[in-house]
A and B are shown apart, each in its own frame.
Chain A
Amino acid sequence: MRLVVAGTVGAGKSTFIRTVSEIDVVDTDRRATDETAEIKHKTTVAMDFGRLSFGPNMALHIYGTPGQQRFDFMWDILIRKAHAFILLVAAHRPQEFRYARRILSYMNRRVQIPYIIGITHMDCEGAWSSENIKLALGFVDEKNQPPVIVLNADNRDTVIQSIVALMQYYMQRKSSV
C-alpha cells in the first residue's frame, strides 16, 4: 500500500517518515536555494521514502513530496499509485495555509483518494487552533471534512496514531462506496 505525505514547507514531512520508517529513509535532501532557504537550510528536492513491513509481502510504503512550492513532475509520479495521503500543516505558519489549500485542490482534482489533515507544531508560539486551521483551509461544513489529527512529527506514537486514523478512514470510505 502506498501512502503519500504531502504538506507545506517545514511542516515535518521528512521527519514524519523518518520517525516511523523501519528502514533508513531514502531522502533527497539538498541545500535550499529558493525562498525555502529562508525557512530551512536543507529541503527535499525529489522525494523521501520509508517503509513499514508487517507480514509476508505486506508493507506500507510511505512517500514524502518535495519541499518546494512547485508542482513538478515528481508530484504526478508520487500520487499516481497512491492509496491515501496525509496533508501536514504547520500550525504556526499561516503564510503556508494558502499553499496547503492549493495542494488539496491539486490532489482532489487529480486523484480522489482518502486523506486526513495532520497539524504539526501545535506547541509553537503563534500556533493557530485546529478549528481555525480547518477554516483557513476552506473547510466550512462540519459534515464535509476529513479527519484532523494533531501530531508531533518527532513523536513516534502520534505519527503512528495518525497513520492508524488514516487507515480507519480509508476503510470507512471503502465500505461506503
Chain B
Amino acid sequence: MAITGSLSEFSLPEIFQFLDQGQKTGILTIRDPLNLQTGKPFLRHIWLQNGRVVAAGDRLDNQGLVKLIEQRGWITDAVRPELKRLLQENVPLGINLKSLGILQPDQLKLLFSVQVLRQVCSLFQVETGQFRFDAKVDLPKAEMTGLSLPATETTLMGLRSLKDWKILQNKLPEPASTLFIIVSGQLYLRLDTVETQIWGLANGSVNLKKMAEQLQVPIQKVQQAAFRLIVVGLVEEVPDIDVGVVNDSEDIMVTDGSPSGQVISPSERTEVSNSFLQSLVGFLQNKV
C-alpha cells in the first residue's frame, strides 16, 4: 500500500529518514500542482533501493539518463545501437556503459551529481506539495548510473544548502531541549563545523540555547544544525519541561544543576506485586 501525504505535514527530511531507516525500495513522487516559486506544476520522481537514492527525474519513460548523456555529447552514432540494447537489460545502465568503456567513472559521478544530487537537494526548497511512496515497483535500470547515496546523506546535503527554513520552522527542536547521541561506533557521516560542535555537546546536559551561547552562534543556526543531526539519525531531541516550582525532594537526582538531566527516582513509585497484576489481568480479561 502506498504512503501518501502532504509535505507540510510530513517533511521531506522526515520522509528520507523514514525511507533510509526502513531500507525501503520503491519510488517517491513529489508533486505540486502549482509551485509557489515558479507558478508551474512541479513533479519529481526519486527511486530508492534499500534506503539509498539511486536515480531521480521528472519522467517515467526511461529516457531521463539517456538524455543527460546525449546532452553532453557522450553517445556517438557508433554506440547508439548498443545503447538501445543496454536500455532493455536488467542492469543499471551506468554499470553497463562503464564496463563497455563507453563512459568513465568520473563521467558517471558527474551524471549522478546532475541527475540525483542537484535535483534531490533542490526538493528541500519545495514549500507545498504532496508526496507518494510506492514500494511495489520495479526499479528503472535505464535511469540508474550504478551509483547511490543513503537518503539521509542526501538530506544532509539538501538541508545545508537550504536558505529559507520557514517551511521547517515547526519541526525544529526547541531551544530548551537537549540532545543525546543515539549511534555507537565511528561516525560515518562528515559533519560541518557547527554540526561537529553540537555533536560534541549532545550529552543531555546542555540545551540548545546554552549551546548557542557557548558556541557564539545564533540560536536559529543551532536549531537547524541540530535538526540535521536528528533527521540523519545521529541524535535525538529530549524536550525539557517548564517546571514552575522546583521540588526540593531528595528523591530528584539533578545533574549539573541543569533541568534537562533530571531522572525521576524509582523510589517515588510504589511497588506493584505480581498477585496484584495477575488479579488485574484476570479482571480485565473477564470484561472482554
Contacts and interface: CB of A to CB of B under 8 A. Distances in A.
B9 A95 contact: yes
Interface stretch (B33-41, B89-97, B116-124, B239-247): B239-247
A138 B276 CA distance: 33
B263 A110 contact: yes
A1 B279 contact: no
A105 B284 contact: no
A81 B280 contact: no
A54 B283 contact: yes
Contact of A129 (B1, B239, B241): B1
A105 B280 contact: no
Interface stretch (A25-33, A68-76, A115-123, A145-153): A68-76
A163 B21 CA distance: 30
Chain A interface size range: 35 or more
Interface residues of B, number: 43
Nearest to B9: A95
B202 to A, nearest CB: 12
B236 interface: yes
Contacts of A71: 239-242
A138 B4 CA distance: 19
Given A1-B276, A83-B269, A73 B242 contact: yes
Interface in A140-177: 140, 156-157, 160-161, 163-164, 167-168, 170-171, 174
Interface of B: 1, 3-5, 8-10, 14, 18, 21-22, 171, 180, 204, 236-245, 262-264, 268-270, 272, 274, 276-281, 283-285, 287-288
17 contacts: A1-B277, A71-B240, A72-B242, A73-B244, A76-B264, A79-B264, A82-B269, A83-B269, A106-B239, A109-B180, A109-B204, A110-B264, A111-B264, A128-B3, A136-B18, A140-B22, A174-B274
